[in-house]
């Protein structure tokens, strides 16, 4: 008859026997795969999985050239009253009576509280109010976002504005395999495709109207599975609604342009931050 102490002692001895495990082969396989394995940010807003096709890349590059030329012209012509071109080290300043700030491209740029617009390249005129403490998380001209960075006590969260082109075939599968044929052009087509993503939970849709534009609203929750994350494609890139994330989705038809507005957060996001996200979304004003 043995005791549990006997078992623990023997187990410890047995587990510590030399078994000649050598991970070299495993490490080689891992290092081979790392270059093709994109890292995931805490929110899909922050980093994208690049699968941009060459035609889209050319189109986006052309759009960037137009924007750069426009900015260059503005610089040469001199800033207008209220022009708030952000510098890399400074916050985007609060809006003035002359007009809202343009939400900058890129990530991690601090944004002061105020009124923001998505700028000329976004096909729909959108303005919204941001409270203090947010930062930019826009990874493309058609993927604009403002985020609250994660802290030790609060996960990252944010609000984004996108023109979604298509949806992945399997959110837990390869990110570059998309629905074929692609998702249809209507709000209902996109809502059905996103709601139907396998493994994701979507609430029933609500009919909404924002500034006279009809749309649908629902909540999408990603499975808490690290292998899932790719959901839809905007501007040629696949975005991931990361494991366990929740997105309050609004899909609107703005005179034929399908716009997605989403508030992204996690289950552990505080009530205070949730309220801030909802206030940002509620402040959205749309002009075609």
Partner 1 sequence: MDTDLVKRAQRGDSEAFTSLAVGLGDRFLAVSNRILGDIGLAEDATQQALLNIWRDLPKLRDPARFEAWSYRLLVRACYAEGHRGRLWAPNLRLLPVDEPMAADPTDSVIDRDQLERAFRRLSLKHRLVLVLHHYLDLSPDEIADALDVPVGTIASRMHYALRAMRLAIDADAAPTPREVAR
Residue 181 phi, psi dihedral angles, 5° rounding: -65, 155
Number of residues that bind partner 1 (CB under 8 A): 45
Residue number with CB closer to partner 1 (17 or 207): 17
Which residues in the 13-72 window bind partner 1 by CB under 8 A?
13-19, 21-27, 29-31, 33-35, 37-42, 46-47
Residue number with CB closer to partner 1 (186 or 270): 270
Least distance between partner 1 and beta carbon 188 (Å)? 33
Residue of the chain from 9, 70, 203, 288 that contacts partner 1 (CB under 8 A): 9
**Partner residues linked to 221 by β-bridges:** 201, 246
Which of left, alpha, beta for 235 (phi over 0: left; psi -120 to 50: alpha)? left
181 cis-preceded (ω within 30 degrees of 0): yes
Residue of the chain from 8, 58, 71, 206 that contacts partner 1 (CB under 8 A): 8
DSSP, residue by residue, 210-276? ETTEEEEEEEEE--S-TT--EEEEETTEEEE--TT-EEEEEEEEETTEEEEEEEEE-TT--HHHHHH
**Residue 262 near residue 225, CB atoms below 8 Å:** no
Residue 178 phi, psi dihedral angles, 5° rounding: -105, 165
Which residues in the 246-285 window bind partner 1 by CB under 8 A?
none
Residue of the chain from 3, 54, 55, 209 that contacts partner 1 (CB under 8 A): 3
Residue number with CB closer to partner 1 (35 or 256): 35
Q: What is the binding site for partner 1 (CB under 8 A)?
A: 1-4, 6-19, 21-27, 29-31, 33-35, 37-42, 46-47, 150-152, 155, 226, 242
């Amino acid at each position: 008859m043995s005791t549990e102490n006997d078992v623990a002692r023997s187990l410890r001895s047995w587990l510590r026997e030399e078994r000649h495990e050598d991970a070299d082969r495993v490490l080689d396989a891992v290092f081979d795969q790392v270059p093709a394995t994109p890292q995931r940010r805490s929110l899909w807003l922050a980093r994208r999985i690049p699968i941009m096709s060459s035609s889209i890349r050319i189109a986006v590059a052309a759009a960037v050239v137009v924007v750069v030329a426009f900015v260059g012209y503005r610089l040469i012509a001199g800033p207008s009253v209220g022009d708030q071109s952000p510098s890399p080290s400074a916050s985007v300043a609060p809006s003035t009576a002359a007009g809202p700030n343009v939400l900058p491209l890129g990530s991690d740029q601090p944004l002061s509280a105020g009124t923001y617009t998505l700028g000329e390249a976004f096909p729909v005129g959108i303005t919204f109010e941001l409270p203090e403490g947010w930062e930019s998380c826009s990874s493309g001209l058609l993927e604009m976002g403002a985020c609250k960075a994660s802290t030790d006590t609060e996960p990252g969260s944010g609000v984004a504005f996108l023109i979604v082109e298509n949806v992945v075939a399997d959110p837990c599968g390869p990110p570059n395999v998309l629905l074929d044929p692609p998702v249809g052009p209507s709000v209902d087509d996109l809502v059905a495709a996103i709601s139907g993503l396998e493994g994701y939970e979507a609430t029933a849709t609500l009919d909404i109207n924002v500034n006279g534009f009809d749309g649908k609203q629902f909540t999408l929750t990603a499975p808490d599975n690290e292998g899932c994350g790719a959901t839809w494609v905007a501007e040629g890139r696949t975005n991931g609604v990361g494991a366990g994330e929740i997105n309050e989705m609004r899909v609107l038809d703005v005179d034929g342009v399908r716009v997605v507005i989403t508030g992204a957060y996690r289950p552990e996001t505080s009530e205070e931050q949730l309220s801030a996200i909802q206030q940002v979304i509620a402040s959205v004003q749309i002009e075609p």
